[in-house]
Amino acid sequence: MLSIRNIVKQYGSYRALDDVSMEIEQGSIFGLLGPNGAGKTSLIRIINQITAPDSGEILFNGQKLNQSHIERIGYLPEERGLYKKMEIGEQIIYLARLKGLSTDEARRRIKMWFKKLGIESWWNKKIEELSKGMQQKAQFVATVLHEPELIILDEPFSGFDPVNAEVIKNEILELNKNGATIIFSTHRMESVEELCDSIALINKSHKILEGKVKDIKGTYRNNTYLLEYAGSKAEINGAAPFTVVEENNTGDEYRLKLQLAAGGDANSILSHFMAKGHISRFEEVIPTMNEIFIDKVNQMN
């Protein structure tokens, strides 16, 4: 869908993006991650053709990115806002017309979306009369109204209460199901794990990690297991295929973190502890995206 190749962007003496490449698959939800100032916004602006790269190129469905693609992209910027004095219906029509929709078509679709989000009665309200959350909903409608093939969402959940965040999340998933590719820039790692198929991590103008969420997490597995049981303390001798990394107990409740030796079988842990008491929990410890993110960024620094 979108192929980003060797992008370099220089602002004066500051290099915002240094040889950044990534592939975004058709129909995927792609997480663009990175700490503040890493270069995410610069990259998004280049995809939106707000600025142009100094070198490198972007292919949209195999075609070099050009002005005709603008109408096929929807963009919800992190720093968002609308004209405060304008009425909301009129304003979204205006934004939609800038994306190439006709007035009638825009009006029809806005009515549909407003109904869906339960905000039909707002049509003649001015933006300044609305709460922050309401403004965000309106802006979300403006972003997706022209049914873009590629939707770029920069921190889409900021400013929403949990209930409305859920509403928006479901709308995003539905858009994706209907064929839209979504680029999702965020710091909220739990939403990354929930939504994203693939991610790219940018730090200090460089891409430092890219891949499918499942694969990345796979490579970060290190044979660590968490075990909870009630019973007596287990004596572990050197012959066992694992070592105890951490041990906590309150009364006869034990909570252990175990490191399985390379090539060892997880079942051997279970069989070892089955004799010691009643096992209530056993799972492989896979690092969260948050941990991977922090770990990767710290490695770089």
Q: CA of 98: how far to CAs of 102, 106, 124, 218, in Å?
A: 9, 11, 20, 44
**Token output for 250:** 């309150």
DSSP state of 67: G
Minimum CB separation of residue 5 from other proteins in Å reads: 18
Our CB check for other proteins shows the closer of 82 and 258 to be 82
Minimum CB separation of residue 86 from other proteins in Å reads: 7
Our CB check for other proteins shows the closer of 85 and 177 to be 85
Question: Considering only CA atoms, which of 135, 150, 154 is closest in space to residue 36?
Answer: 154
Residue 227 to residue 273: CA distance in whole angstroms: 9
Minimum CB separation of residue 172 from other proteins in Å reads: 18
Minimum CB separation of residue 219 from other proteins in Å reads: 35
Residue 222 to residue 185: CA distance in whole angstroms: 28
Q: Which alpha helices (DSSP H) does the chain contain, by range?
A: 40-47, 88-98, 103-117, 132-144, 162-177, 189-195, 213-219, 266-274, 289-300
Q: Which residue has the tokens 């040889």?
A: 19
Question: Considering only CA atoms, which of 263, 257, 271, 261 is closest in space to residue 241?
Answer: 261
Query: Does residue 264 sit in helix, strand or coil?
Result: coil
Our CB check for other proteins shows the closer of 92 and 202 to be 92
Our CB check for other proteins shows the closer of 73 and 202 to be 73
Minimum CB separation of residue 165 from other proteins in Å reads: 20
Our CB check for other proteins shows the closer of 75 and 293 to be 75
Write out the residues near other proteins by the rule CB under 8 A. Answer: 11-12, 45, 48-52, 54, 70, 73, 75, 77, 79-86, 94-95, 97-99, 139, 142
- Return the C-alpha torsion angle 257, 260, 265, 269, nearest 10: -40
Minimum CB separation of residue 210 from other proteins in Å reads: 24
Residue 39 to residue 51: CA distance in whole angstroms: 13
Spatial contact of 184 and 30, defined as CB atoms under 8 Å apart: yes
Our CB check for other proteins shows the closer of 19 and 228 to be 19
Minimum CB separation of residue 100 from other proteins in Å reads: 9
Residue 15 to residue 218: CA distance in whole angstroms: 32
Our CB check for other proteins shows the closer of 30 and 225 to be 30
Our CB check for other proteins shows the closer of 98 and 112 to be 98
Minimum CB separation of residue 66 from other proteins in Å reads: 12
